[in-house]
Amino acid sequence: MNTYPLQKPFKSRRNQQDVLVEELSVPEILTVGMMRKVPNGNTLLAAHAMVEVCAGLSVIDGSKVETPDAIGYSNLLTDMLTPNEEPGFEIPEIKPVRALIAKITVDINSRPIEFCAQVLQHSGMDRDSIDALDVRDFLPAVQTIVAVFTDPKH
């Protein structure tokens, strides 16, 4: 397993003992489940969210990671966010927009991955299978789904 060395280690409480955390684990792939919580448009907030969800930290430990380390960690993961040419799964038929709007709980602009994952769930896909998808396979579907909601031709 790959790791990211922290410039500023922090103390954490694990198994009733203080532990010095000097590195963060780097996942082999980024899944949709990990990326659901990562906001779009705010680089610093996104970096801290990625540290928390991708390194498997608690909210408390995630808040202890210094901003330069959070940005360095998220930059390391950037290659895992390059979308593939085509979706890595079959996109189900998207239900009419009016039927979905009342059920979606996030903004399309602030968290597009979460928005599209909820659209797919409400269109019949299983949440666990959506969350297990490699985000690189999911990102091309995001463009297609967002167009259903934002393109006046749909």
Where do the domains of the chain lie?
Answer: 2-81, 97-150
pTM: 0.84
DSSP E strand boundaries for 15-153: 17-26
Looking at residue 51, its pLDDT comes to: 95
Question: What's the mean per-residue pLDDT of the chain?
Answer: 90
Residues 11-22 have a mean pLDDT of: 91
Looking at residue 128, its pLDDT comes to: 96
Buried b (16+ CB within 10 A) or exposed e, 66-100: eeebbbbbbeebeebeebeeebebeeeebeeeeeb
pLDDT band, residue 61 (cuts 50/70/90): very high
Looking at residue 60, its pLDDT comes to: 93
User: Rounded distance, CA 134 to CA 89, Å?
Assistant: 10
pLDDT band, residue 1 (cuts 50/70/90): low
87-142: pLDDT as tens digits: 989 888 887 777 777 788 888 888 999 999 999 998 889 999 999 999 999 999 99
Looking at residue 95, its pLDDT comes to: 73
Looking at residue 152, its pLDDT comes to: 65
131-152: pLDDT as tens digits: 999 999 999 999 888 888 887 6
